[in-house]
Chains A and B, each alone.
Chain A
Amino acid sequence: NAGVTQTPKFRILKIGQSMTLQCTQDMNHNYMYWYRQDPGMGLKLIYYSVGAGITDKGEVPNGYNVSRSTTEDFPLRLELAAPSQTSVYFCASSRTERGNQPQHFGDGTRLSIL
Protein backbone atom coordinates (compact mmCIF):
# COMPACT_ATOMS: atom_id res chain seq x y z
CA ASN A 1 0.00 0.00 0.00
CA ALA A 2 1.34 3.43 -0.95
CA GLY A 3 -0.65 5.23 1.77
CA VAL A 4 -0.42 9.01 1.40
CA THR A 5 1.73 10.27 -1.47
CA GLN A 6 2.87 13.87 -1.81
CA THR A 7 4.54 15.52 -4.77
CA PRO A 8 6.88 17.25 -5.25
CA LYS A 9 9.26 16.48 -2.38
CA PHE A 10 11.19 19.73 -2.76
CA ARG A 11 10.49 23.02 -4.51
CA ILE A 12 11.95 26.49 -4.66
CA LEU A 13 9.64 29.31 -5.72
CA LYS A 14 10.13 32.98 -6.36
CA ILE A 15 7.98 35.51 -4.55
CA GLY A 16 4.66 35.94 -6.36
CA GLN A 17 4.75 32.62 -8.18
CA SER A 18 2.01 30.05 -7.76
CA MET A 19 2.07 26.30 -7.45
CA THR A 20 -0.01 23.30 -6.46
CA LEU A 21 1.11 20.72 -3.94
CA GLN A 22 -0.32 17.35 -4.79
CA CYS A 23 -1.64 14.78 -2.31
CA THR A 24 -3.27 11.45 -3.03
CA GLN A 25 -4.23 8.55 -0.77
CA ASP A 26 -5.21 5.01 -1.65
CA MET A 27 -6.85 4.00 1.63
CA ASN A 28 -10.34 5.25 0.72
CA HIS A 29 -10.26 7.67 3.66
CA ASN A 30 -12.93 10.35 3.75
CA TYR A 31 -10.98 12.77 5.92
CA MET A 32 -7.94 14.59 4.57
CA TYR A 33 -5.81 17.39 6.00
CA TRP A 34 -3.07 19.82 5.08
CA TYR A 35 -0.57 20.94 7.71
CA ARG A 36 2.49 23.11 7.72
CA GLN A 37 5.45 22.57 10.02
CA ASP A 38 7.83 25.42 10.76
CA PRO A 39 11.21 24.82 12.47
CA GLY A 40 10.84 24.14 16.19
CA MET A 41 7.06 24.35 15.99
CA GLY A 42 4.24 21.89 16.03
CA LEU A 43 2.13 21.23 12.96
CA LYS A 44 -0.60 23.73 12.18
CA LEU A 45 -3.74 22.83 10.24
CA ILE A 46 -4.22 24.78 7.01
CA TYR A 47 -7.34 23.16 5.49
CA TYR A 48 -9.24 19.94 5.90
CA SER A 49 -11.87 17.96 4.03
CA VAL A 50 -14.49 15.54 5.32
CA GLY A 51 -15.30 14.12 1.89
CA ALA A 52 -15.34 14.83 -1.81
CA GLY A 53 -16.70 18.30 -2.48
CA ILE A 54 -16.45 19.43 1.16
CA THR A 55 -13.58 21.52 2.50
CA ASP A 56 -13.11 23.91 5.39
CA LYS A 57 -10.50 26.24 6.85
CA GLY A 58 -8.13 25.22 9.58
CA GLU A 59 -5.99 27.37 11.83
CA VAL A 60 -3.80 29.09 9.19
CA PRO A 61 -5.67 29.18 5.82
CA ASN A 62 -4.62 32.62 4.53
CA GLY A 63 -2.71 32.45 1.25
CA TYR A 64 -3.87 28.92 0.41
CA ASN A 65 -6.73 27.24 -1.41
CA VAL A 66 -7.86 23.64 -1.68
CA SER A 67 -10.27 21.51 -3.64
CA ARG A 68 -11.54 17.94 -3.21
CA SER A 69 -13.10 16.60 -6.39
CA THR A 70 -12.38 12.95 -5.59
CA THR A 71 -11.94 10.86 -2.45
CA GLU A 72 -8.31 10.19 -3.35
CA ASP A 73 -6.95 13.66 -4.13
CA PHE A 74 -6.63 16.80 -2.04
CA PRO A 75 -4.37 19.39 -3.74
CA LEU A 76 -3.20 22.55 -1.97
CA ARG A 77 -2.66 25.70 -4.03
CA LEU A 78 -0.49 28.70 -3.27
CA GLU A 79 -1.57 31.60 -5.46
CA LEU A 80 0.98 34.32 -4.66
CA ALA A 81 3.94 32.79 -2.88
CA ALA A 82 5.36 34.81 0.02
CA PRO A 83 8.51 34.19 2.12
CA SER A 84 6.29 33.47 5.14
CA GLN A 85 5.06 30.36 3.31
CA THR A 86 8.49 28.77 3.42
CA SER A 87 7.78 25.60 5.37
CA VAL A 88 7.36 21.85 5.22
CA TYR A 89 3.87 20.86 4.14
CA PHE A 90 2.28 17.58 5.18
CA CYS A 91 -0.85 15.95 3.88
CA ALA A 92 -2.67 13.42 6.04
CA SER A 93 -5.77 11.27 5.91
CA SER A 94 -7.90 9.35 8.37
CA ARG A 95 -10.77 6.91 8.27
CA THR A 96 -13.04 8.53 10.80
CA GLU A 97 -13.81 11.84 12.38
CA ARG A 98 -12.70 13.10 15.78
CA GLY A 99 -9.38 11.35 15.58
CA ASN A 100 -10.70 7.97 16.70
CA GLN A 101 -8.40 6.49 14.13
CA PRO A 102 -4.82 7.74 13.67
CA GLN A 103 -4.00 10.08 10.86
CA HIS A 104 -1.67 8.75 8.15
CA PHE A 105 0.90 11.22 6.90
CA GLY A 106 2.79 11.66 3.66
CA ASP A 107 6.52 12.37 3.64
CA GLY A 108 6.04 16.09 3.12
CA THR A 109 6.89 18.78 0.58
CA ARG A 110 9.76 21.09 1.51
CA LEU A 111 9.00 24.50 0.03
CA SER A 112 11.29 27.52 -0.04
CA ILE A 113 10.12 30.94 -1.23
CA LEU A 114 12.95 33.26 -2.25
Chain B
Amino acid sequence: KQEVTQIPAALSVPEGENLVLNCSFTDSAIYNLQWFRQDPGKGLTSLLLIQSSQREQTSGRLNASLDKSSGRSTLYIAASQPGDSATYLCAVYSGNDYKLSFGAGTTVTVRA
Protein backbone atom coordinates (compact mmCIF):
# COMPACT_ATOMS: atom_id res chain seq x y z
CA LYS B 1 0.00 0.00 0.00
CA GLN B 2 1.32 3.40 -1.00
CA GLU B 3 2.10 5.70 1.93
CA VAL B 4 2.76 9.39 1.35
CA THR B 5 4.44 11.53 4.00
CA GLN B 6 4.93 15.28 4.14
CA ILE B 7 7.31 16.81 6.65
CA PRO B 8 7.07 19.31 8.26
CA ALA B 9 3.36 19.57 8.99
CA ALA B 10 3.66 23.36 9.30
CA LEU B 11 6.14 26.00 8.22
CA SER B 12 6.39 29.75 8.86
CA VAL B 13 8.76 31.96 6.89
CA PRO B 14 9.27 35.70 6.35
CA GLU B 15 8.20 37.19 3.05
CA GLY B 16 10.82 36.85 0.34
CA GLU B 17 12.34 33.63 1.62
CA ASN B 18 12.35 30.57 -0.65
CA LEU B 19 10.06 27.72 0.42
CA VAL B 20 11.09 24.07 0.26
CA LEU B 21 8.35 21.50 0.82
CA ASN B 22 9.09 17.80 0.99
CA CYS B 23 7.08 14.74 0.02
CA SER B 24 8.12 11.10 0.30
CA PHE B 25 6.36 7.95 -0.87
CA THR B 26 6.98 4.28 -0.17
CA ASP B 27 6.25 2.61 -3.53
CA SER B 28 8.36 3.95 -6.39
CA ALA B 29 6.13 2.35 -9.06
CA ILE B 30 4.12 5.48 -9.72
CA TYR B 31 2.53 6.94 -12.83
CA ASN B 32 2.80 10.54 -11.69
CA LEU B 33 2.94 12.87 -8.72
CA GLN B 34 0.86 15.98 -8.23
CA TRP B 35 1.19 19.00 -5.97
CA PHE B 36 -2.00 20.72 -4.84
CA ARG B 37 -2.74 23.93 -2.98
CA GLN B 38 -5.66 24.13 -0.51
CA ASP B 39 -6.90 27.42 0.88
CA PRO B 40 -8.98 27.42 4.10
CA GLY B 41 -12.55 26.33 3.43
CA LYS B 42 -11.80 25.60 -0.21
CA GLY B 43 -11.10 22.64 -2.41
CA LEU B 44 -7.78 21.60 -3.89
CA THR B 45 -6.18 23.37 -6.81
CA SER B 46 -3.67 21.47 -8.91
CA LEU B 47 -0.32 23.28 -9.10
CA LEU B 48 2.01 20.88 -10.89
CA LEU B 49 1.81 17.36 -12.27
CA ILE B 50 5.03 15.43 -12.88
CA GLN B 51 4.89 12.28 -14.98
CA SER B 52 6.99 9.33 -13.82
CA SER B 53 9.35 9.84 -16.76
CA GLN B 54 10.04 13.46 -15.83
CA ARG B 55 12.52 14.86 -13.33
CA GLU B 56 10.90 18.25 -12.76
CA GLN B 57 8.14 20.64 -13.71
CA THR B 58 8.07 24.41 -13.49
CA SER B 59 5.31 26.99 -13.41
CA GLY B 60 6.22 30.57 -12.65
CA ARG B 61 7.78 30.72 -9.18
CA LEU B 62 7.01 27.04 -8.58
CA ASN B 63 9.35 24.18 -9.35
CA ALA B 64 8.75 20.57 -8.43
CA SER B 65 11.33 17.80 -8.68
CA LEU B 66 10.80 14.07 -8.67
CA ASP B 67 13.25 11.32 -7.72
CA LYS B 68 11.34 8.10 -8.21
CA SER B 69 14.14 5.79 -7.14
CA SER B 70 14.41 7.41 -3.72
CA GLY B 71 10.66 8.03 -3.42
CA ARG B 72 10.92 11.78 -3.02
CA SER B 73 9.57 14.98 -4.46
CA THR B 74 10.32 18.57 -3.51
CA LEU B 75 8.26 21.66 -4.23
CA TYR B 76 10.22 24.90 -4.37
CA ILE B 77 8.45 28.25 -4.19
CA ALA B 78 10.77 31.15 -4.97
CA ALA B 79 10.53 34.54 -3.26
CA SER B 80 7.53 33.67 -1.10
CA GLN B 81 4.65 36.13 -0.69
CA PRO B 82 1.88 36.34 1.92
CA GLY B 83 -0.51 35.12 -0.78
CA ASP B 84 1.40 31.83 -0.83
CA SER B 85 0.04 31.04 2.65
CA ALA B 86 -1.97 27.83 2.27
CA THR B 87 -1.76 24.09 2.77
CA TYR B 88 0.21 22.22 0.12
CA LEU B 89 -0.54 18.57 -0.51
CA CYS B 90 1.25 16.06 -2.65
CA ALA B 91 -0.42 13.01 -4.12
CA VAL B 92 0.93 10.06 -6.08
CA TYR B 93 -0.91 8.01 -8.67
CA SER B 94 0.12 4.36 -8.70
CA GLY B 95 -1.52 1.07 -9.53
CA ASN B 96 -4.58 0.43 -11.63
CA ASP B 97 -7.32 1.47 -9.22
CA TYR B 98 -7.63 5.13 -10.26
CA LYS B 99 -6.60 6.20 -6.78
CA LEU B 100 -4.49 9.15 -5.75
CA SER B 101 -2.68 8.60 -2.45
CA PHE B 102 -2.43 11.89 -0.57
CA GLY B 103 -0.06 13.18 2.04
CA ALA B 104 -1.50 15.06 5.02
CA GLY B 105 -0.08 18.35 3.73
CA THR B 106 2.25 21.11 4.88
CA THR B 107 0.60 24.30 6.11
CA VAL B 108 2.64 27.32 5.07
CA THR B 109 2.46 30.78 6.61
CA VAL B 110 4.36 33.60 4.93
CA ARG B 111 4.79 36.55 7.31
CA ALA B 112 4.70 40.04 5.82
Contacts and interface: CB of A to CB of B under 8 A. Distances in A.
A48 B98 contact: yes
A42 B34 contact: no
Contacts of A48: 98-99
A106 B43 contact: yes
Contacts, number: 69
Contacts of A58: 97, 99
Given A99-B34, A100-B31, A100-B32, A43 B102 contact: yes
Contacts of B45: 105
Interface in A62-92: 90, 92
A81 B46 CA distance: 31
Nearest to A10: B41
B43 A107 contact: yes
A42 B103 contact: yes
B42 interface: yes
Nearest to A42: B102
A103 B104 CA distance: 17
B93 A42 contact: no
Contacts of B97: 58
Contacts of A13: none
Interface magnitude class on chain B: 20 to 34
B89 A97 contact: no
B11 interface: no
A97 B98 contact: yes
B41 A107 contact: yes
Given A42-B4, A98-B31, A98-B93, A103 B42 contact: no
A102 interface: yes
19 contacts: A4-B43, A33-B98, A40-B104, A42-B103, A42-B104, A43-B44, A43-B91, A43-B100, A44-B102, A58-B99, A90-B44, A92-B43, A98-B31, A98-B32, A99-B98, A99-B100, A103-B100, A105-B45, A106-B43
For the complex of A and B, list the 8 residue pairs with the smallest distance between their C-beta atoms, beginning with the closest: A42-B102, A99-B93, A102-B46, A105-B43, A105-B44, A43-B102, A107-B43, A42-B104
Interface of B: 4, 9, 31-32, 34, 36, 41-46, 49, 51, 89, 91, 93, 96-105
